[in-house]
């Protein structure tokens, strides 16, 4: 018998964790000398109070869905992929090469090609750490961290020496062709009130499709079953005839591919060129999102939405409350990771005891 009902595990505990993180963040705001309540109101209003805010919130959420799903798929196989940042940066490279090298006649074909480019480059960047983990037992956390740094150096080198527009000082690629421009929220649904320059674009729908894909993969296919079995008990899975090398490789390739696809949103959908640091920490937010979402696509979607609100609300907060700097976001993000990930047992143990004593009482 379970120690507590399922709803407590998937709703109550993440909620308490989140609440603790917000309370501690509120204390920091209070210490700086601003009202946490006011700050909260500004953030909510700034993120979901207007079509303008929604545009940015959903744009950020799109990034976090992709990186969150990437981390989540790896989590199912008990792999901790910290390399989302580097995989997404390489995904950006893939998108840029696809968009610059071939003159696409229509955005839909370009998008299809960009999906392949981004996923292939992201997956390729995850492939080496995955191979080293599967074949040589090198710790995947350490290798993926190292690959983040290598990716960032590689990208700087390529942007400065290879892709830079001749005559321009800025380390960025040329602008992509107009035909490859993805329709944004205004083009698709002008009646929702998005402004013409909203960053929200068709990649958001792609992100939702990715959620469905991951759900089908993990819970409705044989491969997904094998991934979960391997994550649950490696020896048990091997005994059942599941090949660990294959599971590690496939789950990490999918994870890297999903992280890489994040770049479609930022590089192709918004900037329309590859700039230095196209990921902007979204790879790391993916860790928080996957932890909060309990590695389930629905949870990841909701957590990504929450972090989208935090990012957009944080930008508004910096504007309206100059005493609170934008880095407050990092503090909140850190606290969410800390409470939902590392200090999970701090909440879980008392809650479990509570439910056990309730059950005894009845």
Q: Binding segment for another protein among 149-157, 190-198, 236-244, 257-265 (CB under 8 A)?
A: 149-157
Q: With respect to another protein, which residue has the nearer C-beta, 102 or 343?
A: 343
Q: Which is nearer to another protein, 126 or 268 (CB)?
A: 126
Using alpha carbons, select from 44, 131, 5, 43 the residue that is nearest to residue 314. 43
> Does 162 interact with another protein (rule: CB under 8 A)?
no
Return the residue of 206, 214, 317, 328 that touches another protein, per CB under 8 A.
328
Residue (of 36, 54, 94) closest to 311 by Cα position:
54
User: Which residues pair with residue 201 across a beta bridge?
Assistant: 184
Helix (H, G, I), strand (E, B) or coil at 139: coil
Residues 275-304, interacting with another protein (CB under 8 A): 284, 287, 291
In the complex, minimum distance from the CB of residue 21 to another protein, in angstroms, rounded to a whole number = 10
Closest CA to 81 of 211, 256, 297, 226: 256
Query: In whole angstroms, how close is the CB of 157 to another protein at the nearest point?
Result: 4
Which one, 56 or 339, has the nearer CB to another protein?
Answer: 339
Among 22, 32, 100, 242, binds another protein (CB under 8 A): 32
Does 146 help bind another protein (rule: CB under 8 A)? Answer: yes
- Burial track 180-208 (b if 16+ CB lie within 10 A, e otherwise): bbbebbbeeeeeeebeeebbbbbbbebbe
* Residue 245 touches another protein, criterion: CB under 8 A: no
For another protein, give the closer residue by CB, 50 or 233. Answer: 233
Using CA atoms of 219, 225, 87, 175 in order, give the dihedral in degrees to the nearest 10. Answer: -40
The two three-digit tokens of residue 240, written as one number: 């059942």
Query: Of 10-18, 147-155, 169-177, 352-360, which part binds another protein (CB under 8 A)?
Result: 147-155
Closest distance of CB 140 from another protein, Å: 10
**Site size for another protein (CB under 8 A):** 50
- The span of 37-45, 88-96, 135-143, 261-269 binding another protein (CB under 8 A) equals 135-143
Nearest by Cα to 89 from 143, 182, 158: 158
The answer to whether 118 touches 264, Cβ cutoff 8 Å, is: yes
Q: Examine residue 127 and tell whether it contacts another protein (CB under 8 A).
A: no
Helix, strand or coil, per DSSP, at residue 184: strand
Interactions with another protein, residue window 307-326 (CB under 8 A): 323-325
Six-digit token pair at 173?
């690629």
Span near another protein by CB under 8 A; candidates 104-112, 176-184, 208-216, 328-336: 328-336
Q: Answer whether 75's CB lies under 8 Å from 289's CB.
A: no
> In 3D, which of 61, 34, 37 has the Cα closest to residue 47?
61
Q: Is 179 in the site for another protein (CB under 8 A)?
A: no
Determine if 150 is a binding residue for another protein (CB under 8 A). Answer: yes
Distances (CA, A) of 190 to 182, 202, 203, 269, 354: 15, 13, 17, 17, 50
By C-beta, is 268 or 336 nearer to another protein? Answer: 336
- Vertex 351: Cα angle to 350 and 356 (nearest 5): 95
Q: Which residues bind another protein (CB under 8 A)?
A: 28, 32-33, 80, 82, 128-129, 132, 136-139, 141-143, 145-147, 149-150, 153-154, 156-157, 160-161, 284, 287, 291, 323-325, 327-335, 337-338, 341-346, 349
């Amino acid at each position: 018998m379970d120690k507590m009902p399922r709803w407590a595990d998937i709703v109550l505990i993440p909620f308490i964790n989140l609440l603790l993180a917000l309370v501690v963040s509120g204390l920091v705001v209070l210490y700086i000398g601003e009202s946490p309540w006011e700050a909260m109101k500004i953030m909510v209003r700034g993120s979901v109070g207007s079509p303008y805010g929604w545009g940015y919130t959903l744009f950020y959420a799109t990034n976090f869905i992709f990186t969150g799903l990437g981390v989540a798929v790896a989590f199912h196989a008990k792999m901790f992929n910290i390399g989302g940042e580097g995989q997404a940066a390489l995904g950006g490279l893939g998108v840029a090469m696809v968009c610059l090298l071939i003159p696409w006649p229509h955005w839909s074909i370009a998008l299809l090609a960009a999906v392949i480019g981004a996923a292939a480059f992201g997956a390729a960047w995850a492939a080496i750490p995955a191979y080293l983990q599967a074949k040589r037992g090198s710790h995947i956390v350490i290798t993926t961290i190292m690959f983040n740094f290598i990716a960032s150096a590689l990208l700087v080198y390529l942007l400065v020496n290879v892709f830079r527009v001749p005559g321009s000082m800025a380390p960025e690629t040329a602008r992509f062709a107009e035909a490859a421009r993805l329709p944004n929220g205004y083009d698709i649904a002008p009646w929702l009130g998005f402004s013409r320059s909203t960053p929200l674009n068709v990649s958001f729908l792609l992100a939702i499709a990715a959620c469905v894909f991951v759900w089908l993969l993990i819970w409705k296919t044989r491969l997904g079953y094998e991934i979960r079995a391997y994550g649950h008990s490696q020896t048990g899975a091997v005994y059942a005839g599941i090949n660990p090398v294959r599971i590690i490789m496939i789950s990490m390739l999918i994870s890297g591919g999903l992280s890489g696809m994040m770049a479609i949103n930022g590089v192709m959908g918004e900037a329309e060129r590859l700039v230095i640091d196209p990921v902007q920490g979204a790879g790391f937010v993916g860790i928080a999102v996957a932890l909060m979402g309990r590695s389930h696509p629905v949870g990841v979607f909701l957590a990504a939405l929450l972090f989208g609100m935090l990012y957009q609300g944080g930008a508004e907060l910096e504007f309206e409350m100059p005493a609170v700097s934008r880095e407050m976001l990092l503090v909140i993000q850190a606290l969410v990771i800390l409470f939902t990930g590392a200090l999970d047992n701090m909440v879980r143990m008392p809650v479990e005891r509570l439910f056990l004593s309730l059950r005894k009482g009845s």
